[in-house]
A and B are shown apart, each in its own frame.
Chain A
Amino acid sequence: MTIASTPSLPGIGVSAVLFPAPSDYAACIAALKADAYEMCVDLCAVDYLGHPGRELPVGVAPERFEVVVNLLSLSKKDRVRVRVQVAELDPRVDSIYFAYPGVEAMEREAFDLVGILFDGHPDLSRILMPEEWEGHPLRKDFGLGRVPVQFKEAPGPR
């Protein structure tokens, strides 16, 4: 079940914002791809940990994470945005790599920085952070200033 809405601020040239259920997400993307949305311009993940005033249409159960996909149709000169809710305990969602191979790096970035797991992604590894990094820095509960300065020979405080 996909709930479509046209919020007050759809963005520049965005005609609709779709909220598919996580189980329908891949099918929704495939249908949009068939509907002449040729390009996936952007994919990012948002952590809504305790977001006070979050606007969602009726019928969409808010979860902690959200994956936001921006699709572009060159032939229709139109954009559409897909927002899928991802549960906190098992942040797992289907990869849309099958439809848009270009999201490969973007999904890796969403995994690296927010910790979303994408089923069916060819190589879900860290892309920006160091290999041995613990945690996902763009999560809201990722401690700020907790990591010590990484210069080995840095002089101590005077």
Chain B
Amino acid sequence: MSEAFDAEITELAGWSTKETSEGSQELFKRQETSKDELGREIGSVIQLPEGITLDPSQIDIDKPDDETMIINMGPQHPSTHGVLRLMFELDGEVILRTKTIIGYLHTGMEKQAEQLTYVQGSTNVTRMDYLSPLHSELTFSLAVEKLLDVEMPSRATWIRMLMGELNRISSHLMWLATNGMDLGSTTAMIYGFREREMILSFFEKTTGLRMNTNYIRPGGVAADLPDGWEDDVAVICDTILKRSFEFDDLMTGQPIFRERTEGVGGLTAEEALALGLTGPLLRSTGVPWDLRRSMPYLAYDEVEFDVVVGTYGDNFDRYSIRLNEIRESIRICRQILEKMPAGDYRVQDPKVTPPPRGRIDESMEALIHHFKIFTEGFKVPVGEVYSAIESPRGELGCYIASDGSSKPWRMHVRAPSFVNLNALPVLLRGGLLSDAVAIISSVDPVMGEVDR
């Protein structure tokens, strides 16, 4: 199209016919890509630890550039679990190179956290990983409490554990549902959502909200467990444990499912460690690393559970790990039911915890504390702290640098999905394009947490 015609079209129609530039998001031809970048895209960073010596003409892709195809997937692809964009170089159906492009859901939550007080902060972090909001709240609260140096009442600790484990079950059920969907099993999708609904109903009863609960806060939890919670949790545990075996009937032994998951998306322990992968991805390679066991927080050293590990690091291992972690979480929940101590659900420090409603009418001091907490917030001593917990996706960390005011100077969240997505070039290389959907799903990325 000529320049003049293009200008005419632009003037008449009001839109341009020119292509937009994708800048460095584009997956370029191999000859135009720098060697370091190329090494990353073909996932060879691990194989070449002593500095990357790849040359675009030396890499082991024997197809010339004009016989391969560069295609784009996403960001609106239904199986990318949100807005993840991938670019592949394909040789027929085999993936040679992958470039992951993220940032479509970036809303500046770390910047926002600097404008919010510590009291408001948990409403912000809970929106990061929207499938396990309670874990985001927990890691933030643990970091703030470490800075404040307050001791939690034991009931608050156990309530946090109970809610965290229920959230882990619901998150893994959601994963089973969407993973089944990605592999073409709509029944698994219905099953997973059905079971998850029970837990979300319990969340609604306890916290008032199904998601983004803002239940775990610095200083304890927002409210005590509702009356009759023991029965609710017992029913949830019994039902989901029974129904978790329906997934075995439906998926585990099914030839099509095994065919599509066994040996697909293989990963070794060395690769996982070098890439900083945590959670089911790391455990699927046989590394028994679970922060609940290895570096216990809350009261995880007082409950019995097994750390589920895999052997081959493939999709099937990651599936079985998540399915069995549901059962382990149920085991933990049942122990919590027996051991739940009585007492306070939040710390009785008037500087951190707002006074109960009844006291505000009687006591001037309570009114002042209430007003100060909800307008100015509480002040946190100078310091910096990193707290880490095991979320359903891996190590969820929170780094807070405090300048002594009531707002964090800097809050950074170490999002497991963000790091785990790095593994995609390694996992996808040499696989089929049709398996890409299954492999992306097995990483279990939550894009709200990736982009924050």
Which residues of B are found within 8 Å of A10, using beta-carbon distances? 385
Q: How far apart sit A158 and B25, CA to CA, in the bound complex (Å)?
A: 39
SS class of chain B's interface: helix, strand, loop or mixed? mixed
Which residues of A are found within 8 Å of B385, using beta-carbon distances? 9-12
A153 interface residue (CB < 8 Å to B):
no
Which of A79, A81, A104 has most B Cβ within 10 Å?
A104
B247 interface residue (CB < 8 Å to A):
no
Q: How far apart sit A100 and B421, CA to CA, in the bound complex (Å)?
A: 15
Which residues of A are found within 8 Å of B297, using beta-carbon distances? 12
Q: How many residue pairs at the A-B interface have CB separations less than 8 Å?
A: 146
B152 interface residue (CB < 8 Å to A):
no
- Least CB distance from A152 to B in Å reads 12
Q: How far apart sit A100 and B273, CA to CA, in the bound complex (Å)?
A: 9
A94 interface residue (CB < 8 Å to B):
no
Q: Establish whether residues B419 and A12, one from each chain, have CB atoms under 8 Å apart when the complex forms.
A: no
B343 interface residue (CB < 8 Å to A):
no
B444 interface residue (CB < 8 Å to A):
no
Per-residue CB contact flags for chain B residues 146-179 toward chain A (1 = under 8 Å, else 0) read 1101000000000000000000000000000000
Question: Which A54-83 residues have C-beta < 8 A from chain B?
Answer: 54-55, 68, 70, 72, 74, 77, 79, 81
Question: Which A96-148 residues have C-beta < 8 A from chain B?
Answer: 98, 100-106, 109, 113, 121-123, 125-132, 137-138, 144
Tally A residues with Cβ within 8 Å of B.
53
Asked if A46 meets B401 with Cβ closer than 8 Å, knowing A13-B295, A123-B36, A138-B111, the reply is yes
- Least CB distance from B284 to A in Å reads 15
Q: How far apart sit A40 and B287, CA to CA, in the bound complex (Å)?
A: 16
Q: How far apart sit A70 and B37, CA to CA, in the bound complex (Å)?
A: 25
- 21 CB contacts below 8 A, A to B, read A9-B146, A9-B384, A41-B388, A41-B397, A44-B410, A46-B401, A52-B403, A52-B404, A55-B382, A55-B383, A74-B287, A79-B386, A101-B40, A102-B274, A122-B34, A122-B52, A123-B37, A127-B103, A131-B23, A137-B111, A138-B111
What 3 A-B pairs are tightest by C-beta distance, nearest first?
A: A122-B36, A102-B276, A101-B45
